[in-house]
Amino acid sequence: MATKKVKEHARKVLKDTFGYDMFRPMQEEIICSLLDGKDAFVLMPTGGGKSLCYQIPSIMRPGTGIVVSPLISLMKDQVDALTRCGVKAEYYNSSLKSAEAKEILAKFEAGELDLLYVAPERLLTKTFLARLEKIEVALFAIDEAHCVSQWGHDFRPEYVRLGELRTVMPDVPMIALTATADEHTREDIAERLALTKAKCFVSSFDRPNIRYLVSEKRQPLTQVLQFLEDWKGASGIIYCLSRKRVEDMAVNLQRHGIRAAAYHAGMPGRTREKVQDDFLRDRINVIVATIAFGMGVDKPNVRFVIHHDLPKSIESYYQETGRAGRDGLESEALLLYGSGDVNLVRRLIENVENLEQRRVEIHKLNSMVALSEALTCRRRVLLGYFSEEREEDCGNCDVCLDPPETYDASDFSQAAVQCVRDAKGDFAIGYIVDILRGSKNARILANKHERLKMHAFNKTINVDEWMAILRQLVHQGYFTQDVSRRGALTISKKGRALLRDNTPVILARYQPGIKRKLKRFSQGRNEALFKKLVEVRDFLAEREEVAPHTLFSDVTLTEMSQINKVTDEALLRLSGMGQHKFDAYAAFFRPVLEQYARDEAAKETGKGQHALKLMAKGSSPTDAQGHTWALYRKGNTLEAIGAALGVSEKTVLNHYIALVRGAYHIDVPSLVEDFETVMEELDDADPYASLSELKKELSIDLSNEMFRLVLAWREAIGVN
């Protein structure tokens, strides 16, 4: 068991390296388990902090942590983020040139890496496995572990062999992580990876910051455009079922002035890479994509996800909507639901050759339809699918915000439970509805279920209404559905109690179509200062050729915009501001924060008018001037600043002039040779002389920019 000293060390790494003050639920327990050399199986929602569960033990344990990841883009993004935190991380995949690959392998073999990200195909080659036997391995982390399972929504054959790692290196701890796995998928993953003895850590699947919305699909383009009105300039993803719909939607959004791009598997690889890179670096706002896009998106500030078409399963829906709000800020997931999409997806599933797989996918589709047509809290339905009960409605989905009419459905509910009990078999919702409506089809007659007491309990209620009743009873926990038995209904403890106690059951009344009002919310932050901080982040990211969020998340910048007094301590307390990032980047943000504080103070008190007067050409420095100021504060020379920013010294001097006029302190005397002589000659000069005449009279040869800088400095200190 991890000692107090080990836990303190883990918390120190969390703060110093990653900039967080405390662990999220279960993170510390998982980390300590791995540090003790034990295996772990982790189910945690997207954005819940899964990565830290293996990154911190990899840093702390001897050797290198091997992370198995399915997508190249995901590896690069995570390595970029780790590098900015001062962690020694690399990835090894087919995107590397030969020389780069050799260099990384040399570091790996020399024990210089904390983490190495690798694709399963590359990991399981004889050559790589032989290399592992010569190197100290800290742990194995299997990310997106649902890809291992035949029950998973994204099964990948190349993942199946990962169980061999337990045979090759049985003493190395392994952690499997996923955000989407029902009970059958979990069991399958544990068996295939030989993790049957591993402790299973199951976090809540709830993402309370995401608002779930479903709207009947009527005019999808118009509906999407109306939705985007509330998210101008924000990052988002729109999922479509076909490549043609993807391309059409992207073109239409571009015509309406939205920075959007298409992404699907039929595009050339380089084009897809550029689109994804542009999205990650905030050069475009909206990606319109098929499900070929998603798993590799490690972008925390996606504010919305729209499903133009129906997903094939709740797992897919959950994972794709989970791309929104990974930073914990308010986000929305909109599904446009139409019956035509259900038929289209069903036809696609019918093309699956494997009968068992086809049966599984049909069940998953039916569950997705049930979620889309839910008349109860949508979050409760979603969580219930993953066997997580929620006692109260969430208050942050379309059903809660615009609740349907409810009624006492106790008689119908008791009849449904009694019918399932008396049928005594593996029967799904549709079959039970047939009994309740009095059908005498061949299957019912063969099973002699026309003799049941509940047969023809109520013929006046149509199929859709009965289906709505049974689905709500599943959502509310009176039944469970077993995917391994064709979605068969099983009466739960709560359902048995219903027959015994006759407790009232209140359900939502079925209504054809889905007509929800989309009520909005705002982020509630200082948008003016936040925007300035984003511009600084974008500048730094462009300079370093990385995605902006790998430097700082929107959460960090939001907290930064709320600092009352700009000090080193205040900046270091920010979420995500570790010591390494503070040393590298804090000086770039400080001048923006300080100038904003001065401007606000001047507005509040009426003071500081002198500084405002000096800033005649603007109330605050431009981004470029702010970057110059940050570099200057760090002690860089004029020449070094020019080189860092990629501009001439003349441009840097112009920045100095603007900064001095804005009441920023630049040590001008140290920049000018024979400064005292220049000042004396200016003191003695004709006060009515023009600037060109003044410059000509000087005995010291100054450039135009240096001369203007001296004059700005004289004005700033009050010399006429």
pLDDT in tens, 407-460: 999 999 999 999 999 999 889 888 999 999 999 999 999 999 999 999 999 988
Mean pLDDT of 383-412: 87
| 561: Cβ contacts below 8 Å, ≥ 6 apart | 525, 526, 529, 530, 533
Q: How far apart are CA 270 and CA 257, in angstroms?
A: 25
Q: What is the DSSP code string of 282-325?
A: TSSSEEEE-TTSSTT---TTEEEEEESS--SSHHHHHHHHTTTT
Q: Edge-to-edge strand order for the sheet containing 137-142? A: 89-92, 115-118, 64-68, 137-142, 174-178, 40-43, 199-202
Do domains 4-202 and 210-401 share one topology? The answer is yes
Give the pLDDT confidence score for residue 31 in this predicted structure.
Answer: 94
CATH number 3.40.50.720 is the correct assignment for the domain at 210-401: no
Give the pLDDT confidence score for residue 483 in this predicted structure.
Answer: 57
pLDDT digits (tens, 9 = 90+) for 544-599: 888 898 899 888 998 898 888 889 988 998 988 999 999 989 989 998 898 888 87
Give the pLDDT confidence score for residue 1 in this predicted structure.
Answer: 57
CB-based contact 621:600 (threshold 8 Å): no
Mean pLDDT of 345-364: 82
Task: State how far Cα 283 lies from the chain centre.
Answer: 17
- 172 burial via Cβ count (<10 Å: 0-12, 13-18, 19+): buried
Bridge partners for 305 per DSSP:
237, 333
Which pair of structure tokens corresponds to residue 645?
């920013």
Give the pLDDT confidence score for residue 604 in this predicted structure.
Answer: 59
In the chain, count H helices and then E strands: 34, 17
pLDDT digits (tens, 9 = 90+) for 119-131: 888 888 888 888 8
Give the pLDDT confidence score for residue 440 in this predicted structure.
Answer: 93
Average pLDDT score over the chain = 84
| 182: Cβ contacts below 8 Å, ≥ 6 apart | 151, 315, 385, 386, 387, 483
Give the pLDDT confidence score for residue 292 in this predicted structure.
Answer: 60
What is the third-level CATH fold of 406-508?
A: Arc Repressor Mutant, subunit A (1.10.10)
Bridge partners for 213 per DSSP:
334
Confidence of residue 614 (pLDDT cuts 50, 70, 90): very low
CA distances from 55 to 82, 115, 631, 715 (A): 9, 7, 32, 54
CA distances from 650 to 236, 628, 670, 707, 716 (A): 41, 12, 17, 12, 21
Q: Give the architecture-level CATH label for domain 4-202.
A: 3-Layer(aba) Sandwich (3.40)
Q: How far apart are CA 293 and CA 418, in angstroms?
A: 45
Q: What is the DSSP code string of 445-513?
A: HHTTGGGSTTTTS-SSS-HHHHHHHHHHHHHTTSEEEEGGGTTEEEE-HHHHHHHHH----EEEPP-SS
Q: How far apart are CA 522 and CA 549, in angstroms?
A: 21
Mean pLDDT of 12-23: 90
Q: How far apart are CA 10 and CA 52, in angstroms?
A: 11
Mean pLDDT of 105-121: 91
Question: Where is pLDDT greater, at 688 or 210?
Answer: 210
Give the pLDDT confidence score for residue 525 in this predicted structure.
Answer: 67
Which residue type sits at 687?
Answer: P
Q: How many residues are listed for the chain in this entry?
A: 720
Task: State how far Cα 713 lies from the chain centre.
Answer: 47
Q: How far apart are CA 53 and CA 39, in angstroms?
A: 12
Q: How far apart are CA 375 and CA 364, in angstroms?
A: 19
Q: What is the DSSP code string of 393-447?
A: --S-BHHHHSPPPEEE-HHHHHHHHHHHHHH-S---HHHHHHHHTT---HHHHHT
* Radius of gyration, alpha carbons of the chain: 31
Among residues 549, 539, 552, 547, the alpha carbon closest in space to that of 646 is found at 539
Q: How far apart are CA 508 and CA 501, in angstroms?
A: 22
Using DSSP's 3-state secondary structure scheme, residue 196 falls into coil
Q: What is the number of alpha carbons within 13 Å of residue 4 lying toward its C-beta? A: 0
Give the pLDDT confidence score for residue 243 in this predicted structure.
Answer: 92
Which pair of structure tokens corresponds to residue 372?
């889309």
Confidence of residue 719 (pLDDT cuts 50, 70, 90): low
Give residue limits of the domains in the chain. Answer: 4-202, 210-401, 406-508, 527-666
Q: How far apart are CA 331 and CA 45, in angstroms?
A: 15
Using DSSP's 3-state secondary structure scheme, residue 40 falls into strand
Confidence of residue 611 (pLDDT cuts 50, 70, 90): very low
pLDDT digits (tens, 9 = 90+) for 148-158: 776 555 566 67
Among residues 412, 397, 403, the alpha carbon closest in space to that of 375 is found at 403
Task: State how far Cα 564 lies from the chain centre.
Answer: 28
CA distances from 589 to 296, 500, 502, 623 (A): 30, 65, 64, 10
Which pair of structure tokens corresponds to residue 312?
């094939």
Which pair of structure tokens corresponds to residue 687?
């006060």
Give the pLDDT confidence score for residue 423 in this predicted structure.
Answer: 92
Which residue type sits at 489?
Answer: L
CA distances from 385 to 135, 147, 155, 183, 483 (A): 42, 19, 19, 10, 11
Helix (H) or strand (E) holding 335: strand 331-337
Mean pLDDT of 669-692: 77
Give the pLDDT confidence score for residue 442 in this predicted structure.
Answer: 93
Question: Where is pLDDT greater, at 619 or 694?
Answer: 694
Helix (H) or strand (E) holding 136: none
Give the pLDDT confidence score for residue 639 in this predicted structure.
Answer: 87
Angle between helices 220-228 and 243-255 (to 10 degrees): 50
Model pTM score: 0.64
